[in-house]
């Protein structure tokens, strides 16, 4: 299955000096990606990549992701727009050669097959990682709790309990 945002780059296009490239999503790709990520909208998405070789089959990708998105506030349930601006590092490695090291400080590894890497899917994955898991509209506030709320309906049952 082809990802919603796919930009295949042939590995032989990454020369000894590296390769700079830009991935920009179309409106249709943004809409499909928003549906996949279950969010109201992705208004724009672009990602600059600097690719360099690390040995014979591993490639380092330095990226700068910029996006304009709409998310749903967890407090008010209103949709609101926000910007994403993230710099990241990833390593493209042949499928099956990923490192099992659980070190959270190591670069994320993205497996590839054949002689191409998909920078579009890499950008989409980085957007997913950059999203706030509990988005909150800037002016949203939790509702005040009323101190005079009635007790739980079963709160008085504890006093009726018989001690054995």
Q: Is the pLDDT of residue 123 over 80?
A: yes
| 11-15, 49-53, 112-116, 154-158: least confident range | 154-158
C-alpha to C-alpha distance for 118 and 138, rounded to whole angstroms = 35
| 44-48, 104-108, 112-116: least confident range | 104-108
Average pLDDT over residues 93-116: 86
C-alpha to C-alpha distance for 71 and 41, rounded to whole angstroms = 7
| 19-23, 124-128, 145-149: least confident range | 145-149
pLDDT, one tens digit per residue, over 25-83 is: 999 999 999 999 999 999 999 999 999 998 889 999 999 999 999 999 998 899 999 99
66 neighbors 84 (Cβ within 8 angstroms): yes
pTM above 0.85, yes or no: no
pLDDT of residue 106: 81
**Cα dihedral across residues 29, 32, 36, 38: positive or negative:** positive
Closest residue by Cα to residue 57 from 104, 12, 8: 12
Q: E strands of the chain, at which residues? A: 8-10, 19-24, 41-54, 58-72, 79-94, 108-112, 116-118
Residue 38: how many other CB atoms lie within 10 Å: 7
pLDDT, one tens digit per residue, over 130-164 is: 999 999 888 877 777 666 666 667 666 666 666 65
Q: Is the pLDDT of residue 98 over 70?
A: yes
140 neighbors 75 (Cβ within 8 angstroms): yes
pLDDT of residue 131: 94
- Beta-bridge partner residues of 111: 93
Beta strand 58-72 pairing with 19-24: unpaired
């Amino acid at each position: 299955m082809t990802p919603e945002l796919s930009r295949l780059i042939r590995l032989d296009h990454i020369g000894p000096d590296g390769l700079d490239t830009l991935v920009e999503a179309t409106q249709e790709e943004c809409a499909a990606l928003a549906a996949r990520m279950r969010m109201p909208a992705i208004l724009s998405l672009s990602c600059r990549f600097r690719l360099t070789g690390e040995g014979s089959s591993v490639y380092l990708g330095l990226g700068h992701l910029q996006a304009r998105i709409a998310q749903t506030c967890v407090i008010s349930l209103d949709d609101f727009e926000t910007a994403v601006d993230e710099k990241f590092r990833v390593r493209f490695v042949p499928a099956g050669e990923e490192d099992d090291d659980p070190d959270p400080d190591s670069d994320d590894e993205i497996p590839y097959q054949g002689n191409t890497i998909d920078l579009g899917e890499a950008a989409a994955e980085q957007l997913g990682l950059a999203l706030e898991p509990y988005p909150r509209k800037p002016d949203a506030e939790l509702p005040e709790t009323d101190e005079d709320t009635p007790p739980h309906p079963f709160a008085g049952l504890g006093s009726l309990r018989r001690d054995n």
